[in-house]
Structure 1
Amino acid sequence: MSVSPTGPLSGLPADPNAPQPARPSVLSLAIKEKAALYAAYMPFLKNGGMFVPTNKPYKVGDEIYLILSLMDDPNKYPIAGKVAWITPAGANNNKAQGIGVHFPADETGQRARLRIEEILGAALRSSRATHTL
């Protein structure tokens, strides 16, 4: 009895139980109004960030691919960020369950952050409660 190799070089299928490299989750978030943007934006993160409501389990540091739509802006903002915040189900003060996605320091993260801060303007200095702090 002979054993044949499997995998990409053998022409035979690889072991389906072998661990696969983790691919970032893709999440989509459409912000329809300024109050919702204010509540979701995380200006205290170094590069800015966005709270994304979700009941999927994530860990801090997980890579996330976020497709962000902002109100009447026809542009979509694709952001390859990382989970920096987790609000679990049943959190205090009835906070929405979800994750905070930290924007990257690259051009896509900066573009999204600048556009959000342009929309929010003076509201950034408000003391109103948000989804995070």
Structure 2
Amino acid sequence: MAMPGRGGILTCHIEDIATLYASYLPFVENGALFVPTSRVQQLGDEVFIAITLPNSSERLPMNGKVVWINHRAQANRPAGFAVQMGTDDMGLKIKGEIERLLAGKVDGQQPTYTM
């Protein structure tokens, strides 16, 4: 099932907790996830992503809105964009699972892929 518009389903496999930490934007309302990709998106675009979180093989479907863009890789920040999670049941489930995996780490000082 692809969303209409720019293009199909993106897949995002987050292999470990360090990558999840670097990819999560807790300061965005409802949370957001950075998706490393060379695909060009615009702020506000609606996208559909199949996400696999660490220690899981389950692909979680997530609809969201692009809220951050890094057009080119630089330093430790890959090219890609961040997608704000929706307030639907799946968005809330993904946010809850991410925050469970990152318990005690969200307020850390390690660099991330965004800020």
Higher helix share: 1
Partner of 1:40: 23
Percent identity reads 33
Shift of 1:132: 0.5
The answer to which structure has the higher strand fraction is 2
Alignment of 1:1-133 (within 5 A): 22=5, 25-91=8-74, 93-133=75-115
Answer yes or no: is the 8 Å Cα contact 1:84–1:99 preserved in 2.
yes
Gaps of 5+ in 2: none
Structure 1 residue runs without a partner (length 5+):
1-20
Partner residue, 1:17: none
Which whole-Å deviations, capped at 9, do the CAs of 1:63-115 have from their partners, x for residues lacking one?
11011101222432100111110001155x45211000110111111100000
**TM-score normalised by L of structure 2:** 0.89
Which fold has the larger relative contact order, with Cα–Cα distance below 8 Å and residues 6 or more apart in sequence?
2
Task: Classify 1:82/1:118 alpha carbon distance in 2 versus 1 (closer, same or farther; 3 Å).
Answer: same
Cα-to-partner distance string for 1:18-68 (whole Å, 9 max, x where unaligned): xxx626541101111110000001111101110001111110011110111
Aligned residues: 112
**TM value normalised by structure 1:** 0.78
